[in-house]
Amino acid sequence: MLVRDAMSSVVLTIGPAHTLRQAARLMSARRVGAAIVLDTDTSGLGILTERDILNALGSDRNPDHETADAHTTRDVVFAAPTWTLEEAADAMTRGGFRHLVVLDDHGPVGIVSVRDIIRCWTPARLAV
């Protein structure tokens, strides 16, 4: 099975000026654990995860003043839609993270998470 089969193609994209509270609200509303941070001024691409927000709050940072930019991971490991799930899981294990931004030749097309991979690898999916 490939990353494109497991990834979420509905991606939350935010700007670097979003506050952590705004980012958390958007992530909560969309029920996602990560957002792509797109800086249109620099064409930079990063990722902000629920763990990044949690670490900031645990360090007594003010979520109404702290911006996504200050907590964005910029050294992002990207996956291709044609990677196998094993390749994605290996990259996550080596990097110690739970989300991969999926890129094709035109830019971000999705995010794959550990949860997405587990869903695909679980033989008996229970109906909820």
pTM of the model as a whole: 0.86
CB count in 10 Å sphere of residue 52 = 21
In this structure, are residues 34 and 113 in contact, taking their beta carbons and an 8 Å threshold?
A: yes
The confidence score (pLDDT) of residue 71 equals 95
| Cα distances (angstroms) measured from residue 128 to each of 9, 86, 117, 119 | 22, 27, 18, 13
Whether residue 13 has pLDDT greater than 90: yes
The confidence score (pLDDT) of residue 125 equals 56
Q: Closest by alpha carbon to 37, among 21, 61, 17?
A: 17
Residues 64-83 pLDDT 10s: 999 999 999 988 999 999 99
Residues 76-115 pLDDT 10s: 999 999 999 999 999 999 999 999 999 998 888 999 999 9
